[in-house]
Structure 1
């Protein structure tokens, strides 16, 4: 299982890649995509431009299970990756380059899981 050291993680198996002072790309981890199985559909529930921490913003449908995408923090949606809808199974082959959203937030890195924290979580 691949877990890059340079990313941040959430307890809900999302990864966050810092791409600016306050911006992050968000996707699901390799662990999550393996649990879900072959991904057939990704649906976003984005009526507003803002996400609230802990509130689901979408669903990933796979062969093994359905996976809720839960907002990692209060944030503003800057961009939605429309390419995910064309071939969602690309997430299975390259989960760390298939991002869902770009978010802008003032979250502190201390509020996210580090590589070590995430490894410990998935091993228990």
Structure 2
């Protein structure tokens, strides 16, 4: 498994969450997830303004091998989506930790503390292998 950025929090469903300086949370999928999917060919993102609950389906990522749901790691309002992924979904394969899918304004920032650390997430991935 590749290096896991320690400044991110992880969901066991393979999303990562990064707390931004403005208090918003960027969400993407882990390197482990994109490797399992293979070449990403399409990303369906949530609508800006949509309210999401932690664990709720927020979108879909499709690859040449499979389609997989993307879940919100924390509750909040979608304040931005990464429009680049509509035209170049393969960015997810090239830069899984640089290619965020959407940003949330969290309704309860403490939910971030319930997510996994990099070490705990690595243990989840190792257990799946």
TM-score (norm 2): 0.88
- 1:79 counterpart residue number: 80
The 3-state SS of whatever aligns with 1:123 is: helix
Instruction: Tell me by how many angstroms 1:67 deviates.
Output: 1.0
Q: What is the Cα-based RMSD across aligned positions, in Å? A: 1.5
**Cα distance in 2 for residues equivalent to 1:117 and 1:18:** 18
* Count of aligned positions: 124
Instruction: Tell me by how many angstroms 1:46 deviates.
Output: 3.1
Does structure 1 residue 97 correspond to structure 2 residue 102? no
- The C-alpha deviation readout for 1:74-93, integer Å capped at 9, x for no partner, is 11111111111010011101
Structure 1 residues not aligned, in runs of 5+: none
Is the contact between residue 51 and residue 77 of structure 2 (CA under 8 Å) also seen in structure 1?
yes
**Cα distance in 2 for residues equivalent to 1:82 and 1:22:** 21
Structure 2 residues not aligned, in runs of 5+: none
- 1:110 counterpart residue number: 113
Does structure 1 residue 122 correspond to structure 2 residue 121? no
The 3-state SS of whatever aligns with 1:5 is: coil
**Cα distance in 1 for residues equivalent to 2:30 and 2:5:** 10
Instruction: Tell me by how many angstroms 1:21 deviates.
Output: 5.6
Instruction: Tell me by how many angstroms 1:2 deviates.
Output: 2.9
The 3-state SS of whatever aligns with 1:92 is: helix
The 3-state SS of whatever aligns with 2:109 is: coil
**Cα distance in 1 for residues equivalent to 2:39 and 2:93:** 6
Within 5 A, what are the aligned runs for 1:1-124?
1-20=2-21, 22-46=23-47, 49-105=50-106, 106-108=108-110, 109-124=112-127
The 3-state SS of whatever aligns with 1:33 is: helix
TM-score (norm 1): 0.92
